[in-house]
Structure 1
Amino acid sequence: MGSVPAEAVLAVLKQLSHDIRDLDVGSGVDRHQKLPFLRDYVAANKPVILTGVVSHWPAFANWTDDYLCQLAGDTEVTVALTPNGRADAVTPLPPNSGSCNGTGGSSSGAAAEGRSGGGGGSREGGEDEHSTAQQPQRVFALPHQVKMPLKDFLLLLRSSKQSKLGASGDSAAELAAAQRQAAAAAAAAAAHPGVVPYLQYQNSSLTAEVPQLLGDVDLLLSWATQAFGGLPEAVNLWIGDERSVTSWHKDPFENIYAVVAGSKTFTLLPPADIFRMRLRQYASATYKPQGSDAASQEAVVSGSVLLAPVLDPSGETVLWSSVPPAPDAKAAAAAGTAANGAVGNGVRFAIPDAEDNTASVGCGEEQGQRLWDPDLFNDPQLPPPIKVTVKAGEALYLPAMWWHHVEQEPDEQGRAIAVNYWYDMKFDARQAYLQAIERLAQLIGLNEEPPAPPECPSDGEHREGQLRPPYSNRAFG
């Protein structure tokens, strides 16, 4: 049996993407007040916004900052801190942040991201031969986590946002004073950009950390329990603002996501579009105080000590999408980094040459040694991502394994608040189909293979945050 050209396999994957949209998913997300839920959406693995299932919660009226502080202000919560609002995301590793040698092997795509040796690197047959500067190593960075009272977090969420200063007077002296004040503030912000705080712990954080708030929401959603055949595995609380953006990923949970304050905008792609997501292995890192492991929490929170990603000593790698979320892609395009085959966030994706275009499935020792990087995510001949905004009082059903990234807009108090419920997904024939698509994308060089699962800790202890999606040992992307 002869080998199959990669172009032929890709044509089948592209047709599948169109067929899924045409036959079922469509180009948008339905809104329903009533619940034709199990038959029309869960069984079809199709998102829907439910407008009448959580709007009765007392939380919508109660959850002002004053109320939250009165009810649970002294309760300690786990706060994620980053310098840019990009937790659980791919980011450049600063110079002198550690070497990636021994991080669990290398592959052509990972080398192109500069994972080996801590600087640059080139992809055989894929790197731009005219490039003169090595790209910084890119890693998957988890946030710096701290514990603080809920009232202190809410204060930090407001105070950490830079205020925009402007002239309030009419005289030349007042204008000059305002300009000097604005310049001084800009200089201080450049020297100490501070942190972006986000409540995003995910380990059933609502029930585990602030159970005082449970009286204002439904702990159990009877209609969801019936549809998914069990109780939720986790009920999570999310509080942040527009600075925090979630990178492209998928979760192995059925998700009911209810917005309490502000709004959340989800950008979605069906599970079968995994071949468009450019999955790469990245060394695992965590944001830590720069230059001082002994920096106080107050110094980090105030911004006097900056956070930077530091490689994890475990050497574990994470399979993650190299497609940047919309705000990062727009910023990169505006800066001119998305030209000539480059796609956002400073990452270059090579246009395949003739040899790459004639690659075949099952091509002997060449198999898996070269990655093929056509920009399928932005391909105008493929269905575009689906964008939907979930408003306060609405809940989104997001089926398991759907690709999504999330932006948010705060309410008049500067908060975007949500509660979500994770239910175990059902592993059935659909999962087998998806795994076949994943394997095809790997075989023709569009995605890297997932890293090997790490060994269990020999001391029997659980790692902090283990109940969160285990990014290091699942191919979440």
Structure 2
Amino acid sequence: MAEESVIPAAKIREGFTALAREARELYLDAEVAELTSVPDPLSFYREFVSPNKPVVIRGGLDWPALTVWTPQYLRCKAGRLPVSVAVTPNGYADAVNGNNFVMPEERRMILAEFLDIIEQPDSANGVFYIQKQNSNFTEEFDDIIGDAGRDISWATEAFGKSPDAVNFWMGDGRAVTSLHKDHYENLYCVVSGWKKFILIAPTDLPFVPYDIYKPAHYKELKGEFVIQQLDEMPEVPWIPVDPLNPDMERYPEFAHTLCYEVTVNAGDILYLPSLWFHHVRQSHGCIAVNYWYDMEFDIKYNYFKFVEKLAEVQETHSKKVPPRTTMKDSTVS
């Protein structure tokens, strides 16, 4: 019986390097593209959605929210609305802490109470952030949704579908979203303040490490936050690298990624394509609304999953560690 042939790990790595290099040479831009006016749906789809490329539309929003969503207005119009708030000791929700993947403590409070904390952060213990991605804008903010919208009309026409979810974001400047990817076409609209994104293309997937973590969540007990493991939940594959301060000694392959940086200001829209890795920071009290349109699970997705599996096999053989099984999608942005 003939021996089974095995492709050397070095050859797989050569292929990954060629994939990233050719993507940068053939279709990716040196910087995130910018437009100064809203594109027509066909141009948007041809130039950005189809090639899976991000773009910022500067001043692309014309919502009343840009001028009316002051703290005073929000108190008056929606102050009694109950909202879901994520609370952490350090601003990192849904992120790696030691051997754990730690989710925030979720609390319910009225919007006016949340605004009190944002205006005086030292009045409460922890970092507070409205970040629940269950289409909370349509489910919890009906009193002010008319100041923005249930969709982005030109994007809805381009995608040929309505958003799966519309999410409202507001929080502490210390809140950080760890590096992750989503299976959604994302239209991210900043209403006030700014968001800073670090983006990594899907073709750099082989250089983005994943480890396996025990699921846990934060819980404040007697004024101190503790990490409580969730033994009934399965382990979580997650990216351990902080792109702001990557540990290149532990994760040397991350040095081969190309990190794009872009700031999205009030009135701007970022089109964040599906499967792009992203890390997010924000100004204090920043308000944003994002629209998640389901991606097309077409041949590009098939190729992505093939590269993902190859990267997993290479990692398993080179490190002699158990396979990560599946790089699960994040629930944060």
With structure 2 as the length reference, what TM-score do the two structures score? 0.91
Structure 2 residue 186 is matched with structure 1 residue 224 = no
Give the CA deviation at 1:315: 4.1
What amino acid sits opposite 2:189 in the alignment?
Answer: A
1:353-391 C-alpha deviation (Å, 9 max, x unpaired):
xxxxxxxxxxxxxxxxxxxxx51112xxx3520111111
C-alpha distance in 1, partners of 2:83/2:267?
24
1:376-428 C-alpha deviation (Å, 9 max, x unpaired):
112xxx35201111110000000111100001123xxxx11100000111000
Query: What is the aligned-residue identity percentage?
Result: 38
What amino acid sits opposite 2:24 in the alignment?
Answer: R
Please, which of 70, 79, 82 is the counterpart of residue 85 of structure 2?
79
Structure 2 residue 182 is matched with structure 1 residue 251 = yes
Q: How does 1:254-333 map to 2 (within 5 A)?
A: 254-290=185-221, 305-326=223-244, 329=245
Give the CA deviation at 1:22: 1.3
Counterpart in 2 of 1:476?
329
Counterpart in 2 of 1:102?
none
Question: Is the Cα contact below 8 Å between 2:200 and 2:257 reproduced in 1?
Answer: no
C-alpha distance in 1, partners of 2:146/2:47?
31
Please, which of 304, 328, 333 is the counterpart of residue 434 of structure 1?
304
More strand per residue: 1 or 2?
2
Question: Is the Cα contact below 8 Å between 1:79 and 1:201 reproduced in 2?
Answer: yes
What amino acid sits opposite 2:9 in the alignment?
Answer: A
Question: Is the Cα contact below 8 Å between 1:21 and 1:383 reproduced in 2?
Answer: no
Give the CA deviation at 1:251: 0.5
Per the alignment, in what secondary structure is the counterpart of residue 152 of structure 1? Answer: helix
Structure 2 residue 308 is matched with structure 1 residue 408 = no
Q: How does 1:412-427 map to 2 (within 5 A)?
A: 415-427=285-297
Counterpart in 2 of 1:44?
51
What amino acid sits opposite 1:375 in the alignment?
Answer: P
C-alpha distance in 2, partners of 1:450/1:5?
20
Q: How does 1:304-453 map to 2 (within 5 A)?
A: 305-326=223-244, 329=245, 338=247, 342=249, 349=250, 375-378=252-255, 382-410=256-284, 415-445=285-315, 449-451=323-325
Structure 2: give runs of 5+ residues left out of the alignment. none
Question: Is the Cα contact below 8 Å between 1:251 and 1:476 reproduced in 2?
Answer: yes
1:87-117 C-alpha deviation (Å, 9 max, x unpaired):
000012xxxxxxxxxxxxxxxxxxxxxxxxx
1:34 to 1:210, Cα distance in 2 relative to 1, 3 A: closer
What amino acid sits opposite 2:223 in the alignment?
Answer: V
C-alpha distance in 2, partners of 1:419/1:78?
15
Q: How does 1:7-22 map to 2 (within 5 A)?
A: 7-22=10-25
Per the alignment, in what secondary structure is the counterpart of residue 268 of structure 1? Answer: strand
What amino acid sits opposite 1:74 in the alignment?
Answer: R
What amino acid sits opposite 2:30 in the alignment?
Answer: S
Structure 2 residue 100 is matched with structure 1 residue 139 = yes
Please, which of 166, 183, 188 is the counterpart of residue 235 of structure 1?
166
Structure 1: give runs of 5+ residues left out of the alignment. 93-137, 163-192, 291-303, 331-337, 343-348, 350-373, 453-473
Question: Is the Cα contact below 8 Å between 1:281 and 1:451 reproduced in 2?
Answer: no
Q: Which has the larger radius of gyration?
A: 1
Question: Is the Cα contact below 8 Å between 1:277 and 1:322 reproduced in 2?
Answer: no
1:222 to 1:84, Cα distance in 2 relative to 1, 3 A: same
Aligned structure 1 segments of 4 or more residues deviating by more than 6 angstroms? none
1:247 to 1:26, Cα distance in 2 relative to 1, 3 A: same
1:383 to 1:195, Cα distance in 2 relative to 1, 3 A: closer
Q: How does 1:167-182 map to 2 (within 5 A)?
A: none
C-alpha distance in 1, partners of 2:206/2:26?
19
Give the CA deviation at 1:83: 0.1
Aligned Cα root-mean-square deviation (Å): 1.9
C-alpha distance in 1, partners of 2:30/2:19?
15
Per the alignment, in what secondary structure is the counterpart of residue 302 of structure 2? Answer: helix
Give the CA deviation at 1:2: 3.2
Per the alignment, in what secondary structure is the counterpart of residue 313 of structure 1? Answer: coil
Question: Is the Cα contact below 8 Å between 1:246 and 1:325 reproduced in 2?
Answer: no
C-alpha distance in 1, partners of 2:205/2:100?
20
Please, which of 75, 95, 117 is the counterpart of residue 156 of structure 1?
117
Per the alignment, in what secondary structure is the counterpart of residue 25 of structure 1? Answer: coil
1:242-288 C-alpha deviation (Å, 9 max, x unpaired):
20010000001110000001100110111121211111111110111
C-alpha distance in 1, partners of 2:94/2:20?
27
C-alpha distance in 1, partners of 2:210/2:292?
24
C-alpha distance in 1, partners of 2:128/2:79?
16
Structure 2 residue 21 is matched with structure 1 residue 90 = no
Per the alignment, in what secondary structure is the counterpart of residue 195 of structure 2? Answer: strand
Q: How many residues align?
A: 319
Per the alignment, in what secondary structure is the counterpart of residue 254 of structure 2? Answer: coil
C-alpha distance in 1, partners of 2:171/2:75?
16
What amino acid sits opposite 1:47 in the alignment?
Answer: P
Per the alignment, in what secondary structure is the counterpart of residue 80 of structure 2? Answer: coil
Counterpart in 2 of 1:204?
135
Give the CA deviation at 1:155: 0.7
Question: Is the Cα contact below 8 Å between 1:450 and 1:475 reproduced in 2?
Answer: no
Give the CA deviation at 1:39: 0.8
Counterpart in 1 of 2:6?
3
Question: Is the Cα contact below 8 Å between 2:184 and 2:275 reproduced in 1?
Answer: yes
Question: Is the Cα contact below 8 Å between 1:320 and 1:476 reproduced in 2?
Answer: no
